[in-house]
Every structure is written in structure tokens, then in C-alpha cells.
């Protein structure tokens, strides 16, 4: 066994033995149960896959293929696999917690309003909301990760003869609109073939609207979806819109009115208090327990959720709209004149998109929860970060999802726990960017009743999680990354993000001075709404004198979690998978 040396001071050094990764006792016990004389045959491995891993479609031929995949190792045995080979398989990339064979497996033929959609906010920003550069690079990165809704703010350039994309009335540097459109065209379907929606925040004059219409039409050509009628009676399905581009915006108002609205946003943002989560971990995701406003007592009372001006069909300013621009709009956005009840009115003759800020949704959910659910059964609700998130932080997406909001818009350029939840949700359904909403959010009862998010629900299932061990940090990090004087002291946090009653975090004990921690600890999580639950996994390195160090994270949709013993890859703060860092974990759904 090799040793590792740490310098304590100029003349003193400490040596630590480097442990060898070997199977925990529980894995050894399982191997003994499904093997004979130290060898697990293909038949015995097949029984293990069916009985322990709950892979009921597993075949003996598949088990033999697993054994064959280990032939390149010195531990291979001609009659089967040894304990070491069995352990190598369990801890390999061939044994993930989500099944790669599922691919896109949700019904994709329902209207767009029946899906959660991977949605970006101010997709062109490289950093904060006030002074960062605007670029097509974050748009490309978002599309490559499967984001399906890209937001562009359109403003006249300095000479008023062309269109820039930027966060208006701030210090952000502009990027050319055509460059953004071209990048969307080139990268829209690299990660998913399902439709990309471009939401436009329009602050341009009618002559520039005509120019935008020409650029959009020339850039996207036949892949641009334009409905035959002015308003859709029902949204098309993702399946019918494969490899299509969709434009969504409010029917444009006069340039000066839009400019005044943006100026108010800027002033509100500058006077508000920033709530950053860009520390090493990001702040803990705000809890919704005890009422949606309990954790948000300092919200701005004058925030009405308006990122778009009120609009009715008779608005005279529409006469100033370039007709070719108006014809591009497939998903109409806007609020009818009046208050929340009018905004949430469901029109049987047409569908639309409504946008609300995160804090306005929280207020609305207290008194109009069922009405929001009813609205989202046919229409699209977009939720966006409040204006004080100048640092491009995010919020808890679950309040939007539990009310059926399809477009929970996030700043994708940063990192933090809220963004990890977003990334976790859209690992579902093959990572295509569209996740079918649970049936209870779509159903209407015999008396026209809909799901009430405030209803107390019984426990449907209990998820039992075993954290066996972790490895890979020794290879992916410098040996002094976590501690200059000794090996790391790792512990794991495991929990659930979901509806308020399901949300919880637990943690293992701290294992000192060990690159390969073996915890062997179990946790149980009763779930009332497993359809919306995300399994949160984090690894920390304990630091007695400073903030604990980041050791990796991932979020997994519980609805697609594979039972059995699985190798769970961990990711960095931006959601990029480490080369070798992973946890060995067990998952079991307990019958009630």
C-alpha cells in the first residue's frame, strides 16, 4: 500500500497510507449470496440483476455481456466474475442510477402546455444582470445542455438602424441579434430534436420589427413554425414540432412605452437588495414550508409580476406593429387588463402565455393556487427571477412546477443549488428538455375541480437510500486541494427537493483523512408526491476553521431512479460531470 506525504511546516512532514478501493461488507455479503466458490456465473449474475437490481427485463445473455465487458481486466475468470470484478461492475459507468436505455419515453403527442420545458432567462448574459457581457456563447452552451427556451431582449443599436441583444438600460455590452439567431440555428438540435422556443422581449420600433422579421425568416426558413391563424386554439405537441423554431412574445406595443417599462425595471433593480447564492455551495434552496411568503418577508410590495405591459385586443398601439413581425408570433404573451383573476382567465377559444415573477407567483399561490393549476392545463405560465437577482442567482423551481408552470425560467450562466435542481429535473425523459407533467396537474374532476396544491396528501411511497462509499477525488483533484496538511474529511448530504412536506436533507458522519470514504449509512424519505421529487446528493469536505469545501453534487428525478445498487457520478458546481468521482449507492422503494 502506497503512502502520501503532506508538508506540515518547513522541517516536518506527515505520511498517510492510501487506501485501496475495495467492496464494502454489504457488497461482499451480496456477492457471497449470488456466487459459489468465489465465482459468480452468468446465471447467478442474471438472478442478481432481477432480484436485487429489479431489472425484470434482464436476460442471461445480457449478464454474459457484462461478464465479457470485464475480460480486459486481470481479474477476469473464464467461468464468471470474482468479487473484485463484481465490485468493478457495480461501481462502473455501465451501472448508472438512471437508465440510458429509456431515452425519450414520455408521451410527446400532448399539447405543449402538458410539459415542463427547460427554460432560460436572459440567455445571452455571460454573468451578472447589470454589467456582464452579452454573447451568443451562453446561448450555445444552454442549447448544448438541452435548454429549449431561449430569451432575447431586443433593443435598437446606438444608431437606431439595427437591433442589439442586451439587458436594456444597464451596463451590459450588446451582441448582434443576427449572431444570436445564427447560433441558435446551428445548435438548436444538437442535444434534443424537440422544438426550441425563442421568447422575445421587444423594445424596438416598427421599422426595426420589420428588420427582425426578415432576419428571423431568412435564418430559420422552413424550420420556423408559423400557425395559419393569428391565435392558436390549442398548442401543438412537441412531437409535431420536432426540429422546429417557435417565436413567443407579446404583441408589440409602442417603443416608448416599452422603454419606460424597462427604465422602471432598472430603477427597481438598482434599489433592491441582491440575494446572491454564488458562494462555494450556493445558499440552501428556500423552503416553502409554513406558507410561501414565510421565507420572503422582504419582497417588494409594488412588484406586480409585470415583465410585459397589460394588453387587450383593442389596444390601439398594435396599429404601429409591423405586420410581418406580428405574423411570426406563434405563442402570444400578455396580460388582459385587470388583476390576477383576469390574467388567469381561461379562454376556450385561444391559448396564450402569461409571465409572472417568482415572488408574484408566491403571492398568487396563496389565494389562487387552484386557478393557476387550471390556467396551466391549457395555457403556458412562465416564471422568471425577481429583479433583485442582479447577480444572476435563482430561486426554488418547485413552487412553479407544483402549480403546473411550464416555463420556470432560470439564469443558466451561474451555479448554485437551485440550478442543480433544474438540471436534475431535466435529466428525466432522456434529457430532451420536455418532461410530461404528472397526471394530477392535468386532470379535471367530474365537477370541473382541479388539483389543489394546498391539499394534504398521504405518503405514496418511501425511498430508502444507502450511501455505501465514494471514490475518484484522488484522481480528479490535487492531493492538497481540500487540506494542505492531510487527506480530506468527507461527508455526504442526501435529501429530497419536492413539495414542502417532502423536502428534507440528512447527512452522514464525517470520515477523517480518507480519500475513499466508506459510510454504509441508510436514510428513508417518505414521499407524498414522488412525481415531483428530486433526490439531492452532495459531498462536502469538513473544514474546522473555514467553510466546508465542495466535493461534488448531483440531483436525480426520483420518478426515473433505478432500484438496486448504482454508481452515481458527481458533478462540479456548473453541472459538469467529473471524470472519476462517484458514489456507490443503494435505492429501494418500500411498499406501504
Please give the positions annotated as active site: 121, 167
Contact assessment for residue 180 and residue 125, using Cβ atoms and an 8 Å cutoff: no
Facing residues of 568 across strands? Answer: 583
Element at 32 (helix H, strand E)? helix 25-33
Element at 324 (helix H, strand E)? helix 323-326
The C-alpha atoms of residue 12 and residue 464 are separated, in whole angstroms, by: 46
572: left (phi over 0), alpha (psi -120 to 50) or beta: beta
Q: Which cell numbers hold the place of 567?
A: 454508481
What is the DSSP secondary structure assignment for residue 273, as one 8-state letter? P
The number of beta carbons lying within 10 Å of the beta carbon of residue 74 is: 6
Non-local CB neighbours of 218 within 8 Å, separated by 6+ positions: none
The C-alpha atoms of residue 573 and residue 454 are separated, in whole angstroms, by: 33
Only one residue has cell 412525481, namely 531
Return phi, psi of residue 61, to 5°: -65, -40
With residues binned 3-state (H G I as helix, E B as strand, rest as coil), the percentages for the chain, rounded to 5, are 25, 25, 50
Helices (H), 34-82: 42-51, 60-69
The C-alpha atoms of residue 416 and residue 419 are separated, in whole angstroms, by: 6
3-state secondary structure of 270: helix
Q: Which candidate, 567, 568, 586, places its Cα nearest to that of 524? A: 586
Q: Which candidate, 508, 477, 510, places its Cα nearest to that of 495? A: 508
Contact assessment for residue 552 and residue 571, using Cβ atoms and an 8 Å cutoff: yes
Contact assessment for residue 177 and residue 288, using Cβ atoms and an 8 Å cutoff: no
Which burial class, exposed, middle or buried, applies to 472 when counting CB atoms under 10 A from its CB (0-12, 13-18, 19+)? buried
The C-alpha atoms of residue 124 and residue 283 are separated, in whole angstroms, by: 24
The number of beta carbons lying within 10 Å of the beta carbon of residue 374 is: 20
Contact assessment for residue 474 and residue 541, using Cβ atoms and an 8 Å cutoff: no
The C-alpha atoms of residue 195 and residue 183 are separated, in whole angstroms, by: 15
Pairing between strand 119-120 and 407-410?
Answer: parallel
Amino acid at each position: 500500500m502506497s503512502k502520501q506525504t503532506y508538508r506540515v511546516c518547513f522541517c516536518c512532514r506527515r505520511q498517510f497510507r492510501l487506501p485501496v478501493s475495495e467492496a464494502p461488507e454489504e457488497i461482499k455479503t451480496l456477492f457471497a449470496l449470488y456466487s459459489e466458490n468465489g465465482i459468480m456465473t452468468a446465471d447467478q449474475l442474471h438472478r442478481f440483476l432481477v432480484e436485487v437490481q429489479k431489472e425484470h427485463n434482464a436476460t442471461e445473455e445480457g449478464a454474459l455481456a457484462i461478464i465479457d465487458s470485464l475480460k480486459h481486466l486481470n481479474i477476469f475468470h473464464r467461468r464468471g466474475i470474482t468479487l473484485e470484478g463484481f465490485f468493478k461492475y457495480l461501481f462502473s459507468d455501465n451501472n448508472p442510477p438512471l437508465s440510458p436505455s429509456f431515452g425519450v419515453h414520455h408521451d410527446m403527442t400532448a399539447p405543449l402546455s402538458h410539459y415542463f420545458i427547460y427554460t432560460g432567462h436572459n440567455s445571452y448574459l455571460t454573468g451578472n444582470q447589470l454589467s456582464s457581457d452579452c454573447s451568443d456563447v451562453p446561448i450555445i452552451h444552454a442549447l448544448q445542455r438541452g435548454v429549449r427556451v431561449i430569451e432575447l431582449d431586443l433593443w435598437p443599436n446606438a444608431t437606431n438602424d439595427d437591433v442589439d441583444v442586451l439587458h436594456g438600460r444597464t451596463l451590459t455590452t450588446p451582441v448582434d441579434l443576427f449572431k444570436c439567431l445564427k447560433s441558435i440555428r446551428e445548435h438548436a438540435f444538437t442535444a434534443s430534436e424537440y422544438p426550441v422556443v425563442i421568447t422575445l422581449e421587444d423594445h424596438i420600433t416598427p421599422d426595426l420589427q420589420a428588420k427582425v422579421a426578415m432576419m428571423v425568416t431568412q435564418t430559420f426558413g422552413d424550420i420556423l413554425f408559423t400557425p395559419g391563424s393569428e391565435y392558436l386554439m390549442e398548442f401543438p405537441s412537441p412531437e409535431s414540432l420536432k426540429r422546429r423554431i417557435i417565436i413567443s412574445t407579446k404583441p408589440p406595443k409602442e417603443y416608448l412605452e416599452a422603454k419606460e417599462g424597462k427604465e422602471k425595471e432598472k430603477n427597481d433593480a438598482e434599489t433592491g437588495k441582491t440575494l446572491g447564492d454564488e458562494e462555494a455551495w450556493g445558499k440552501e434552496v428556500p423552503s416553502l414550508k409554513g406558507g410561501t411568503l414565510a421565507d420572503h418577508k422582504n419582497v417588494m410590495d409594488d412588484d406586480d409580476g409585470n415583465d410585459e405591459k397589460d394588453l387587450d385586443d383593442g389596444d390601439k398601439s398594435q396599429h404601429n406593429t409591423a405586420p410581418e413581425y406580428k405574423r411570426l408570433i406563434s405563442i402570444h404573451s400578455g396580460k388582459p387588463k385587470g388583476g390576477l383573476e383576469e390574467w388567469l382567465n381561461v379562454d376556450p377559444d385561444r391559448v396564450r402565455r402569461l409571465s409572472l415573477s417568482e415572488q408574484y407567483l408566491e403571492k398568487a399561490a396563496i389565494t389562487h393556487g387552484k386557478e393557476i393549476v387550471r390556467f396551466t392545463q391549457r395555457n403556458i405560465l412562465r416564471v422568471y427571477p425577481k429583479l433583485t437577482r442582479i447577480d444572476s442567482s435563482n430561486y426554488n423551481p418547485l413552487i412553479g412546477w407544483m402549480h403546473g408552470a411550464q416555463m420556470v425560467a432560470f439564469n443558466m450562466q451561474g451555479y448554485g443549488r437551485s440550478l442543480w435542481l433544474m438540471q436534475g429535473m431535466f435529466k428525466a425523459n432522456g434529457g430532451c428538455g420536455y418532461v410530461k407533467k404528472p397526471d394530477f396537474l392535468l386532470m379535471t374532476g367530474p365537477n370541473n375541480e382541479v388539483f389543489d396544491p394546498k391539499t394534504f396528501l398521504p405518503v405514496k411511497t418511501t425511498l430508502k437510500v444507502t450511501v455505501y462509499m465514494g471514490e475518484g477525488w484522488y484522481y480528479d483533484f490535487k492531493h492538497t486541494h481540500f487540506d494542505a496538511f492531510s487527506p480530506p474529511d468527507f461527508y455526504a448530504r442526501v435529501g429530497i427537493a419536492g413539495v414542502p412536506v417532502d423536502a428534507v436533507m440528512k447527512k452522514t458522519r464525517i470520515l477523517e483523512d480518507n480519500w475513499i470514504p466508506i459510510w454504509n449509512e441508510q436514510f428513508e424519505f417518505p414521499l407524498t408526491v414522488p412525481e415531483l421529487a428530486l433526490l439531492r446528493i452532495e459531498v462536502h469536505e469538513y473544514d474546522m476553521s473555514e467553510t466546508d469545501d465542495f466535493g461534488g453534487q448531483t440531483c436525480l428525478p426520483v420518478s426515473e431512479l433505478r432500484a438496486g445498487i448504482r454508481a452515481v457520478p458527481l458533478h462540479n458546481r456548473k453541472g459538469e460531470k467529473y471524470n472519476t468521482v462517484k458514489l456507490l449507492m443503494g435505492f429501494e422503494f418500500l411498499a406501504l
